[in-house]
Amino acid sequence: MNVSITVRHCGETTTLRAEAGTPLAPLLREAGLLTLPCGVGKCGKCLILAATEPCTEERALLGDAALASGLRLACYTRAAEGLDIALPQAGALRVLTRFAQSDYPFRPIVERRPFAMPEPSLDDQRSDLQRLIDACGAKGHALGLGQLAALPAFIRNARSNARSNGGCGDGHGNVCGFGLMHGETLVGYTASDEAYALIVDIGTTTVAALLVDTARRRVVAARGEHNAQYGADVISRIRHETEWEEHRNGPNPLQQAIAKQVSAMLAGLLEQAGIGDVDFLSLTGNTTMMHLLCGLPGEHIGKAPFIPATLEPMRLPAADLGIASQAPAFLLPGISAYIGADIVASLLAADAHRSQPPFLLVDLGTNAETVLCASGTLYACSAAAGPCFEGATLSCGMAGQDGAIDTVSPDPERGLSFTTIGDAPARGLCGSGVLDALALLLDAGIVDETGRLEADASPLGARITDDALTFTDSVRFTQKDIREVQLAKAAVRAGIDILLREAGMETADVARLYLAGGFGSAMRPESAARIGLIPEELSDRVTVLGNAAGSGALRYATEEGAAESALGIIRRTRYIELSAHAGFTDAYVERMLFPERE
């Protein structure tokens, strides 16, 4: 029996219908009202407000205070006639638009070529496509079916508009339009004289998009959102995708989710800028996310020997991916199953294609990818840090949104003080706040080298209750959270140790440590060194790259020769599979301990 459910969100009311007794989580996700951190009922973050009787799982994941306030979990709440729920309002993700970059020869991968086109006649019966190819001086085309279908109307409207302005021009003045050229291949067309591009980094946890004015070489708008796909990590995404492959029941939901999300982000940015479409898209992400975007099977990425369907660069119409744009999309190449196109982009942003002293690059996301550049060789590995640095597996963890505690400092009277993003009331802890909090606990002696939390008589100790550091009545950093961070930091640091060992180097030989991504940009290097996440010797050699993947994807599409440089980076890279490395387990166990200080 179908039932009606009332959903209140952002001041609006929506009515949804579903089969009685089915969980609300898939229903809310399909309606675009809820992003599920895990999708399998384990993370406790698909929060809703409902007057329902909590189940055993909700009691275990939420606690008495949250339950008393009406919070429930969409994974465990069942559809029933007359059910009325509300969605707690979440702040927007903050997307880095700043990034470190050097000067480079600027040349968009798609160039505009103005064209003028004479009227057809009985003596000139070339097809509309051939006439456009000839008018642009192209040697071929790569237009999609949607572009071909729209071409006849475009040409006739463009010619009509040009005639009304005094003729169809000579290609320099009053032109009919612009052909979009990739080399000598026609990949699109437009009547607009404004040149824009969309740069997208598809992360496991977040999706970040930048709208770039390529004529003025500047970012004009940005947008960030939680990734709308099921699953908190690549393995759970692969599992969901594999289950769909086995049954093939309708369209691929993971591919549809990300295509719909990128389309909506593009539409919002275009509306914000007051333009109709972009000239091209440059898309990057880890290997699993790129497979899911393209609808490629990811099953073999998730099991040994970890073989992706492809790592090659691609150019195809964005519409073929289900993205609502007539522009071509360029997908960056990857290195391996777990060193993807996003790391290739970050290496471009770090000028890895140019000669420089030895450096480490660390991207601290759901998978912590690390690259060591030494003597012309790039040693790369991926450590399964999990999503704790992005807040998904911590009791009060959250992404970098308004209300997230982002810095924690000692205070002589109160034990600690903290700041929040947007100066909003504290709602949780983001990654940088987690590192600061743990570093503070270590310095105070409240957490020992094994990770055990125990209160002392100091002002900070007064904040320790029920095996947790208390910030507010609703925000706590627990003993379980410390263990989550401990596991993640040990994996990252052990990966660094293995790369140095493989290159025959010492930490002192590293001239620079590049930190990529939002978390790397926000964290204090001294806090990261204090907990043992990065080598202490490198804490004063840190260079923050900011939005490295976005910067590199921009460079890939606007730097002359960048596509060839990316392939050169890949050829120079030696990937090291940590799960098969003889020394990784010992390094991981050793790095589980926190550094001791006198």
Question: What is the secondary structure of 356-394 as a DSSP string?
Answer: -S-EEEEEESSSEEEEEEETTEEEEEEE---GGGGTTTS
Residue 173: predicted pLDDT = 41
Q: CA 550 to CA 210: how far, in whole Å?
A: 8
Q: Quote the pLDDT of residue 18.
A: 87
Ramachandran area for residue 422 (φ above 0: left; ψ -120 to 50: alpha; else beta): left
Point out which residues pair with 359 in neighbouring strands: 373, 512
Question: DSSP letter at 79?
Answer: P
Are the C-beta atoms of 209 and 223 separated by less than 8 Å? Answer: yes
Q: What is the pTM of this model?
A: 0.86
Cis peptide before 525 (omega within 30 of 0): no
How would you label 279-292 residue by residue, b for 16+ Cβ within 10 Å and e otherwise?
bbbbbbbbbbbbbb
Residue 453's pLDDT is: 94
What gap in Å lies between CA 257 and CA 32, rounded to an integer?
9
Output the CA angle 45-47-49, nearest 5 degrees.
Answer: 165
Amino acid at 176: C
Check residue 337 and give its pLDDT. Answer: 97
Q: Which residues pair with 99 in a beta bridge?
A: 546
Per-residue confidence in pLDDT tens, the chain, 598 aa: 888 888 887 667 888 888 888 888 888 877 767 765 566 666 677 878 888 988 888 887 776 656 776 778 888 899 888 898 887 765 555 665 556 566 789 999 999 999 988 888 999 999 999 999 999 999 999 999 999 999 999 998 887 776 665 555 444 445 689 999 999 999 999 999 899 999 999 988 889 999 999 999 988 999 988 888 877 678 888 988 888 888 887 889 899 999 999 999 999 999 999 999 999 999 999 999 999 999 999 999 999 999 999 999 999 999 999 999 999 999 999 999 999 999 999 999 999 999 999 999 999 877 889 999 999 999 999 998 777 887 777 888 887 888 999 999 999 888 899 999 989 999 899 999 999 999 999 999 999 999 999 888 777 888 998 889 999 988 999 999 999 999 999 999 999 999 999 999 999 999 999 999 877 888 999 999 999 999 999 999 999 998 899 999 999 999 999 999 999 999 999 999 999 999 999 999 999 999 987 6
Whose tokens are 């199953």? That residue is: 337
User: What pLDDT shows up at residue 236?
Assistant: 83
Of 229, 221, 220, 230, nearest to 202 by C-alpha is: 229
